[in-house]
Amino acid sequence: MRLIQVAQYAGDLRRAAAFYSDLLAVQPTAVFDPPGLVFFDLDGVRLLLEAGAPRALLYLNVADVRKSVEELTGRGVDVVAAPHVIYSHIDGLLGPAGTDEWLAFVRDSEGNTLGLVSQLAAGPSAPGPPDA
């Protein structure tokens, strides 16, 4: 079994499609309006933007969350939480061993919160695995 599709609320379909096209650096795979559906292909998982969808908390992998947030801030995107290290991957269980997991949260054009995640070369003073 694998995840095939995630739906995200989009009150203004055109505005949301423009935001995600810019963020993902791709154009929609398909647009059906009416009834008001926009699809993006995220490496084999469909992202559906739809007015009738509930709000979802999506986490998107980006090459370097620090650079991505800097670029998004320059475009006026609201940063909810600045990039910060949340975990050091020592054993490779949840990410490549020897990397730090960086996370930031931004708000999309429709008021949804998005998590942006990067695994970057480990640095000093990053948090280790939680105590079991």
pTM of whole model > 0.85? yes
Res 25: pLDDT: 95
CB 19 within 8 A of CB 109: yes
Residues in CB range of 38: below 8 A, 6 or more apart: 10, 13, 16, 17, 20, 28, 30, 31, 32, 48, 49, 50
Q: Which helix (H) or strand (E) holds 116?
A: strand 113-121
User: Given the structure tokens 């070369």, which residue do they identify?
Assistant: 121
Q: What is the pLDDT along the chain (132 residues), one digit of tens a residue?
A: 999 999 999 999 999 999 999 999 999 999 999 999 999 999 999 999 999 999 999 999 999 999 999 999 999 999 999 999 999 999 989 999 999 999 999 999 999 999 999 999 997 655 555 544
Q: Max CA-CA distance within the chain?
A: 52
Res 2: pLDDT: 94
Give me the count of residues in the chain: 132
- Across the beta sheet with 37-42, what order do the strands follow? 5-9, 45-50, 37-42, 30-32
